[in-house]
Amino acid sequence: MSGQIPLLVVSRLGVTFLTLLIVSFVVFGATLLLPGDVVEILLGQAATPEAVAGLREAMHLDSPALVRYGQWLFGLLQGDLGVSYANNMPVADMVAGRLANTLRLAAATTIIAVPIALLLGITTAMYRGSLYDRVITTIVVSIVSVPEFLIATLAVLVFAVWLRWLPALSFTTDLSSFGQLLKAFAMPVITLSFVIAAQMIRMTRAAMIDALNMSYVEMAILKGASKTRVVLRHALPNSIGPIANAIALSLSYLLGGVIIVETIFNYPGVAKLMVDSVATRDLPLIQSCAMIFCVGFLTLTTVADIIAIVSNPRLRT
Amino acid sequence: MLKAFSPASHGLHINSTGLLAGLVILFWVVVAIAGPAFAPYAPGDIVDFDFYGPMSAKLWLGSDYLGRDIFSRILLGARYTVGISFAAVTIACFTGVILGMTAAALGGWFDRILSRLMDALLSIPSKLFGLVMVAAIGSSIPVLIGLLAVIYAPGSYRFARALAVNCNTMDYIAVARARGERTPYIILDEIFPNIIGPVLADFGLRFVFIVLLLSGLSFLGLGVQPPNADWGSLVKENIGGLPFAAPAVIAPCLAIASLTISVNLLIDNLPIKIRDRG
pLDDT tens-place string over residues B164-210: 988 888 888 889 989 988 889 988 888 999 888 889 889 998 999 99
pLDDT at residue number A142: 86
C-beta of residue B198 within 8 angstroms of C-beta of residue B276: yes
pLDDT at residue number A280: 76
Write phi, then psi, for A83 (nearest 5 degrees). Answer: -120, 135
Q: Torsion over CA of B129, B133, B135 and B137, rounded to 10 degrees?
A: -170
pLDDT at residue number A172: 54
Q: Torsion over CA of B136, B139, B144 and B150, rounded to 10 degrees?
A: 0
Helix axes A148-155, B192-219, angle to 10 degrees: 50
> Rounded to an integer, what distance in angstroms lies between the CA atom of residue A193 and that of residue A241?
22
Q: Which of A146, A281, A287 sits opposite B261 (nearest CB)?
A: A146
> Rounded to an integer, what distance in angstroms lies between the CA atom of residue B87 and that of residue B89?
6
C-beta of residue B82 within 8 angstroms of C-beta of residue B88: no
Mutate to test the interface with A, among B114, B128, B151 (most CBs of A within 10 A): B128
Domain ranges of chain A: 91-312
pLDDT at residue number B93: 95
**B257 contacts in chain A (CB < 8 Å):** 142, 145-146, 150
| Preceding amide of B227 cis, omega within 30 | yes
Domains along the sequence of chain B with CATH: 16-268 (1.10.3720.10)
**B253 contacts in chain A (CB < 8 Å):** 150, 153-154
From residue B78, alpha-carbon distances to B214, B228, B235, B242 in Å are 12, 11, 13, 21
Restricting to B residues 26-55, those with a Cβ less than 8 Å away from any Cβ of A are none
pLDDT at residue number A234: 85
* Among A291, A246, A296, CA closest to A92: A291
pLDDT at residue number A80: 77
Percentages helix, strand, coil for chain A (3-state, rounded to 5) are 80, 0, 20
pLDDT at residue number B161: 92
Give the pTM.
0.85
> Rounded to an integer, what distance in angstroms lies between the CA atom of residue A112 and that of residue A191?
11
pLDDT at residue number A41: 65
> Rounded to an integer, what distance in angstroms lies between the CA atom of residue A22 and that of residue A193?
31
**Complex ipTM, two decimals?**
0.81
Which parts of chain B register pLDDT below 50?
1-9, 11, 277-278
Work out the number of other CB atoms within 10 angstroms of the CB of residue B273: 13
User: pLDDT means per 10 residues in chain A (317 residues)?
Assistant: 77 88 84 66 69 72 76 80 76 84 88 92 89 90 87 84 70 60 80 90 89 88 87 84 83 84 85 84 83 87 84 70
Answer left, alpha or beta for residue A167, where phi above 0 means left and psi between -120 and 50 means alpha. beta
C-beta of residue B29 within 8 angstroms of C-beta of residue B36: no
> Coil, helix or strand for A9?
helix
> Rounded to an integer, what distance in angstroms lies between the CA atom of residue A37 and that of residue A59?
12
In sign, the C-alpha dihedral spanning B230, B231, B236, B237 is positive
> Coil, helix or strand for A278?
helix
- Check: CATH 3.40.50.1360 for A91-312? no
Are B125 and A169 an interchain contact pair (Cβ–Cβ within 8 Å)? no
Print burial letters for B104-127: b (CB count within 10 Å at least 16), e (below 16). bbeeeeebeebbeebbbbbbbbbb
pLDDT at residue number B36: 77
How many whole angstroms from its chain centre is CA B113? 28
pLDDT at residue number B3: 45
From residue B59, alpha-carbon distances to B47, B53, B80, B203, B226 in Å are 9, 8, 22, 36, 22
Q: What is B126-160 written as a DSSP string?
A: HHHHHHHHHHHH---HHHHHHHHHHHHHHHHHHHH
> Coil, helix or strand for A194?
helix
Q: How many CB pairs under 8 A join A and B?
A: 144
Are B239 and A141 an interchain contact pair (Cβ–Cβ within 8 Å)? no
Restricting to A residues 230-259, those with a Cβ less than 8 Å away from any Cβ of B are 252, 255-256, 259
> Rounded to an integer, what distance in angstroms lies between the CA atom of residue A263 and that of residue A270?
10
In sign, the C-alpha dihedral spanning A263, A182, A254, A201 is negative
> Rounded to an integer, what distance in angstroms lies between the CA atom of residue A187 and that of residue B94?
41
Give the residue on A whose Cα is nearest the Cα of B263: A145
Q: What is A88-149 written as a DSSP string?
A: --BHHHHHHHHHHHHHHHHHHHHHHHHHHHHHHHHHHHHTTTSHHHHHHHHHHHHHHTS-HH
Q: Which of B117, B135, B253 sits opposite A286 (nearest CB)?
A: B135
Write phi, then psi, for B69 (nearest 5 degrees). Answer: -75, 120
C-beta of residue B60 within 8 angstroms of C-beta of residue B71: yes
Q: What is A18-30 written as a DSSP string?
A: HHHHHHHHHHHHH
Strands of chain A (E only): list them: none
B146 interface with A at CB cutoff 8 Å: no
* Among A79, A53, A138, A33, CA closest to A291: A79
> Coil, helix or strand for A247?
helix
